[in-house]
Structure 1
Amino acid sequence: MTVAPGPADHAELQRQLPGLGQAPGPVDAAVPAAHALLVHPRARQAIVLGGLNIGYELVRVRRRSIGMVVTAEGLSVRAPRWVGLGDIEAALQAKARWLLGKLGEQGERQRRLAAGRIDWVDGACLPYLGETLVLRLDPQQRGLALREAAAGDTPPGRRLLLGLPPQADAVQVRDAVQSWLMKEARRVFLERLAHYAPTLGVQVRRLALSSAQTRWGSASADGSIRLNWRLIHFSLATLDYVVVHELAHLRHMDHSPRFWDVVRDVLPDFDQARAALRDPVLPAFD
């Protein structure tokens, strides 16, 4: 059964989108072209925005307004049952600039994530302290060891020698590399904590490794520090920023101006390191 919209419903939509129901105008020429537009896997509708054909998911719901969201899957639209397709398209045209930007961001992120996927075979490359490590499977090697690149090595970069045959199972290779990286992370973290703690006048009671998805580190008033082992992928300057950040929390358990003053006293140019931690693409270990 189709429910006709009442005056209050129309008023709500007009408030949300003043141009609703009017003929859509051309998309601003300044709209950034999406790098790789995503066609939603459940797309049943399509619209042209800025000259680009976009397939989107349309879900009819009980609500008073049109909602739209861009995820890794693409564009999804939630609309009241009584709103016609023409009004939905007008709403999308009104938000064209924003939608194209978000679709472009998602396309770029998907490409970066794909670049972070590793085939766990001989010759695989992975980041270690901001540099590239080249994995070499060598059954003569005992355990794992780092070796400097020899003249003429291709690709360039230090070698991580792993004592497994070239045909070793990918999961076995991945797990061995992850175990080594975590041990390296603990070793480097302890060194950097010992280096900076006296400068800040604090004492670290305990270090624990973290695998958190959204936090690089944390500190407790009892002197405990947790650091994400994935920091071992970043440059030492970036890793040091997180170490100093958490040590500074042992003096100020907040993000007050006093806290940032402590961080800045130790690392005056920490902004670049901080920026490197925003939305990075790291090797997948799952």
Structure 2
Amino acid sequence: MNENDSVIFGTSKINYEITYSVRRKNVSISVSPDKKVKVLAPSNLTPEAIREVVKRKADWVLKKLEWFDHIQQFDSSKEYVSGETFLYMGRQYRLKILSENFEVSIRLKGRFFEVTIPKDTPQENRQQLVRGVLWKWYVEHAEKKLREISQTYSRKLHISPPSLKVKSQAKRWGSCSKDNVIRINVQIIMAPMKQIEYVIAHELCHIKYKSHSSDFWKSLRLIMPDYELRKESLRKEGWRYVL
């Protein structure tokens, strides 16, 4: 059963859709890129009780909505042509496409991504080819760098480095599964090092504490005293990390 409701938080109104389930034991709130707020709740929970939960999470919900606003205002489409800029670890690099009698290749040279493609590549295939080369480069470099960071912060937490997978994720920078597999959004490698470290440290703390409990935040603060500054900078700038 679904129903719609809303709460007022400060000067903002949050509209949300509730989906009830007899299998659920707690309330889950999500915000999708189309700025729809969805609440999954146990079937025996009253609308009033759900409103209280949404109010407690209202600050987080509004920040998510603001973040998706940024994305919509920013032209996130890439054409993968010479002159376009791409971020890597907080620095901006310009794309330079070279047509040669060689196989496809890519290298970072100075402030440029140099992508070489065969001279006889049909025009209609160039964009897809360049995009594929860039994605592969980003994934390979993200895997190496993120594993290094994971090892560093795993030592600080006195845990063994977990399994870490790099993938494309539409809604989040990272996640930690029940079996402690950490998945990181490849596009975080476009961010400055402090933001990258925050995402890794955050997910590593979930190995010890699955929820965002007070113990979770204490654990994160212990290994990263300035995590709040890093978290806020990622919230403000994350919309720029588009590949």
User: Quick check: TM above 0.5?
Assistant: yes
Shift of 1:210: 2.9
Confirm or deny: 8 A CA contact 1:208 1:227 kept in the other structure. Answer: yes
How many Å apart are 1:237 and its aligned residue? Answer: 0.4
Distance 2:241 2:182 in 1: 24
Structure number with the higher strand fraction is 2
Larger Rg belongs to: 1
Task: Map 1:1-286 onto structure 2 (within 5 A).
Answer: 109=70, 112-114=73-75, 116-139=76-99, 143-148=105-110, 158-164=111-117, 169-278=126-235, 280-282=238-240, 284=242
- CA separation of 1:232 and 1:258: change in aligned 2, threshold 3 A: same
CA distance in 2, matches of 1:125, 1:197: 33
Worse-matched range after superposition: 255-264 or 219-228: 219-228
Moved more, 217-226 or 187-196: 217-226
How many Å separate the matches in 1 of 2:179 and 2:70? 39
The answer to whether the Cα contact below 8 Å between 2:71 and 2:239 also exists between their aligned partners in 1 is: no
Look up the SS of the partner of 1:264 in the other structure. helix
Shift of 1:247: 1.0
Cα distance in structure 1, aligned partners of 2:151 and 2:108: 24
Give unmatched runs, 5+ long, in structure 1. 1-70, 73-104, 149-157
SS at 1:160's partner residue?
strand
Shift of residue 236, structure 1, vs aligned partner: 0.8
Deviation string, structure 1 residues 98-134 (Cα, Å, up to 9, x no partner): xxxxxxx79x7477422x3333111210111111011
- d(CA) in 2 for partners of 1:245 and 1:284? 22
Which amino acid in the other structure matches residue 105 of structure 2?
G
The superposition leaves residues 156-190 of structure 1 with CA deviations (integer Å, 9 ceiling, x where unpaired) of: xx211111268671221112111211111111111
Equivalent position SS for 2:208: coil
The superposition leaves residues 48-85 of structure 1 with CA deviations (integer Å, 9 ceiling, x where unpaired) of xxxxxxxxxxxxxxxxxxxxxxx98xxxxxxxxxxxxx
Query: Sequence identity of aligned pairs in percent?
Result: 26
Q: Structure 2: how far apart are the matches of 1:120 and 1:209?
A: 22
Structure 1 Cα separation of the partners of residues 71 and 216 of structure 2: 36
Deviates more, 1:220-229 or 1:183-192: 220-229
1:232 shift after superposition = 0.9
RMSD: 3.1
Determine the C-alpha separation between the residues in 2 that align with 1:214 and 1:268: 26
Q: Distance in 1 between matches of 2:130 and 2:140?
A: 16
Does the 8 A contact of 1:112 with 1:281 survive in 2? no
Counterparts of 2:71 and 2:201 in 1: how far apart (Å)? 32
**What TM-score, normalized by structure 2, do the two folds share?**
0.63
Measured at CA, do residues 266 and 201 of structure 1 come closer, stay the same or move farther in structure 2, by a change above 3 Å? same
SS at match of 1:138: strand
Gap change, CA 1:165 and 1:121, over 3 Å in 2 = farther
CA distance in 2, matches of 1:217, 1:111: 21
TM-score, length-scaled by structure 1: 0.54
Question: What secondary structure, in the 3-state scheme, does the structure 1 residue paired with 2:74 have?
Answer: helix
Q: What amino acid does structure 2 have at the position aligned with 1:244?
A: A
Q: Is the 8 A contact 2:187 2:242 kept in 1?
A: no
Asked whether the 8 Å contact 1:212–1:228 carries over to 2, the reply is: yes
